[in-house]
Amino acid sequence: MTVSLHFVCQAYRYLERGKGSAKQSVLIKASAIECKTSAEAEARARRMFDGGSYAGIDAFSIEVDIELGDYTEPEFIIRLGDVPSLDT
């Protein structure tokens, strides 16, 4: 079993869908960037969010078992702005 720890910044944007009165804004995934450390992920998330181009940013860590293709649940380092709900 080969498990590795990854640090990721996931950005989100709003996308306008529909027409007229049915038009709505939907939060979608934008770019995801892998970082080397937790501190780097947090700093990058803050810079990306402060840049104003994204609705929200998640910085998180996740363990990946490359052989099995299994992923753990993300452990959030920081969540900024509009990000998806954690409710299931």
Q: Residue 88 falls within a domain, yes or no?
A: no
For the stretch 42-51, pLDDT in tens is 999 999 999 9
pTM: 0.85
Which residue range(s) make up the domain with 38? 3-80
Bridge partners, residue 13, by sequence: 28
Q: Which residue would you say has higher pLDDT here, 11 or 67?
A: 11
Q: Residue 33 falls within a domain, yes or no?
A: yes
Query: Does residue 65 have a pLDDT over 60?
Result: yes
Domain count, the chain: 1
Q: Report pLDDT for 19.
A: 83
How much of the chain is in helix, strand and coil states, percent to nearest 5?
Answer: 20, 50, 30
**72, 42, 35: which is closest to 57 by C-alpha?**
42
Q: Report pLDDT for 34.
A: 97
Residues 34-55, mean pLDDT to the nearest whole number: 97
Q: Residue 63 falls within a domain, yes or no?
A: yes
3-state secondary structure of 86: coil
Query: Does residue 88 have a pLDDT over 70?
Result: no
Q: Residue 85 falls within a domain, yes or no?
A: no
